[in-house]
Structure 1
Amino acid sequence: MHELETFKLIERISTLLRSEERKKYSAIGLQPVHGQVLEFLAKCNKYSNTHASVAEYLGLTKGTVSQSIQILERKNFLQKTIDSQDGRVMHLSLTEKGHVLIDELKPLDIFRQAEAKVDHLEFDTIQNALQSTLSVLQQVNHSKSFGLCRTCSYFTVEAHHYQCGFTDEALDRDDTDKICREHTPKPNPFIDQE
């Protein structure tokens, strides 16, 4: 069960970061996949900067990668050069504009802010570290927590039932393990101690 909770936290952090990434790329007329192509090309060597390598690394079809590369080339974020020894091979590299874009969009501002807030803290479990990181990311991003009912500030245990203090309604046992839009996190002893 512990592994499942850890996985869910990693998944939620990833979802929040992808959402922020989509907003940033959308604002400049790109999709996240375009950013992934640029990020790969920024860190790969001269043997891996080809269409096929990009497709293989990202787990995408060659068609999807080709379309993304065309868009990025048209917007002057990358350039193509023919291999000097094999004219059939096309190498891809970032332009200066492409490098600037990667520097501006990665790492995400909200992740940097969250990292600064939790970096100096010590955690007793990976789950507490991930939960604290997620909480800070949600605060910095001004997003709803969508946490489990049983982890909400409004959740209480009454005489013979569970109770939601927000709606003042009794809760079924199954409800307590489900996520809620109205979730309000309980104070986090790791990050709320400052």
Structure 2
Amino acid sequence: MQELETFKLIERISAILRSEERKKYAAIGLQPVHGQVLDYLAKCNHYSNTHAAVAEYLGLTKGTVSQTIQILERRHYLEKTTDAVDGRVVHLTLTETGYALLEDLKPLDVFKHAETQLSEREFETIGQALRATLSVLQKVNNSKSFGLCRSCRHFAVEANHYHCGLTEQPLARGDTEKICRDHQPFSDPHHEE
């Protein structure tokens, strides 16, 4: 059961980071896949900078990679060169503009901020570390926690039934095990006890 909780925490952290990434790329008219291609090409060697290698590494179709590379080439983030030995092979290399874009977009500011806040703390389990990371990322990103109802500051057990103090409504037992968009963690300093 602990593995499932760890997976859910990682999944939620990833969702926040993907959301931030999409915002950054949308601001410049690109998609995260464009950054993934540039990031791969910045790290790979001369034998691995081809359309096929990009598709294989990122798990994308050849069509998606081809369209992505066309966009990146039109925007002067990468350039194509034909292999000197095998004219059928096309190599993809980043331009200075491509490297500059990667520098501007990575690492995500929200993650750097969370890392700074958590770097001095020690955790007994990976679950504690992930929960703390998620909490900081949510605060930095001004996102809702979407936590389990039963872990919310408004959750209460009254006269043998479950109750939401925010809505002043009774809760079905099944709902207490589900996530809520109005969830407020007990440690949330922005809300009064």
Aligned twin of 2:191: none
Residue 28 in 1 paired to residue 34 in 2?
no
Deviations 1:111-162 (A, max 9, x none): 0000111111111111111111011001001111111111111112223122
- Residue 61 of structure 1 aligns with an amino acid whose one-letter code is T
Other structure's SS at 2:163 match: strand
Q: Which amino acid aligns with 2:113?
A: Q
Aligned residues: 188
Q: Secondary structure at the match of 1:185?
A: coil
Q: Distance in 2 between matches of 1:145 and 1:93?
A: 41
CA RMSD of aligned residues (A): 1.0
Say yes or no: does 1:39 pair with 2:39.
Answer: yes
The equivalent residue for 1:154 is 154
Instruction: Output the TM-score relative to the length of structure 2.
Output: 0.94
Measured after TM superposition, the shift of residue 168 of structure 1 is: 1.3
Name the % identity. 69
User: How far apart are the structure 2 equivalents of 1:119 and 1:150?
Assistant: 29
Tell me whether 1:132 sits opposite 2:132 in the alignment: yes
Moved over 3 A (4+): none
Which residue number corresponds to residue 163 of structure 2? 163
Q: TM-score with structure 1 length normalisation?
A: 0.94
> What CA distance in whole angstroms lies between the structure 2 residues aligned with 1:56 and 1:94?
19
Partner-residue secondary structure (3-state), 2:10 = helix
* Aligned ranges 1:32-181 → 2 under 5 Å: 32-181=32-181
Residue 191 of structure 1 aligns with which residue?
A: none
- Say which is worse superposed, 152-161 or 78-87, in terms of deviation: 152-161
